[in-house]
Amino acid sequence: MITILPHPVGDVAAAKASGLLTTQDYKEYLLPALENKLIRWPIIAWYFEMNDVSGWEPAALWMDLKYGAAHARAFRKIAIVGNATWEKWMAHVMMPFTSAEVKFFPLKDKERAWNWVGRR
């Protein structure tokens, strides 16, 4: 499940994920939210909080990878927030595929992640 979060800085997209991420999550929530930001700003920052994410449907993971490849230069910062070791690993795996500065933050430091992703 993906929930779009409000953020006071206009060029920051923010989402919280939990459970199994589905194609419906991407089609109805995440991708439209990112696209709406990219309509207004050529480069955005993204805060992505994961709380008990159990994985992706294969088609949802494919959508994620395709979107990331197509928009590799559209992000200036990406904050990955979570507690699982694989989430930290995911942040490192993303780095070669984006021009964004990517950082992992533990959930206990999510306020620091919000501040970091909102700074230019």
- Write the CB contacts of 64 (distance below 8 Å, at least 6 apart in sequence): 21, 26, 56
Q: Is the pLDDT of residue 7 over 80?
A: no
Cα-atom radius of gyration of the chain, to the nearest Å? 13
Residue range 59-76, pLDDT digits in tens: 998 888 888 888 989 999
- Coil vs helix vs strand at 35: helix
Query: Region 17-29: what's the mean pLDDT?
Result: 95
Give pLDDT, residue 13.
95
Give pLDDT, residue 65.
82
Query: Region 14-27: what's the mean pLDDT?
Result: 95
Indicate the DSSP class of residue 29. I
Closest CA to 39 of 65, 63, 15, 71: 71
Give pLDDT, residue 50.
94
Kindly indicate the confidence band of residue 96, based on its pLDDT and cuts at 50, 70 and 90.
confident
Antiparallel, parallel or unpaired: β 12-21 and 75-82: unpaired
Residue 21 to residue 56: CA distance in whole angstroms: 5
Residue 78 to residue 94: CA distance in whole angstroms: 10
The arrangement of secondary structure in 2-118, i.e. its CATH architecture, is 3-Layer(aba) Sandwich (3.40)
Give pLDDT, residue 92.
81
CB-based contact 7:39 (threshold 8 Å): no
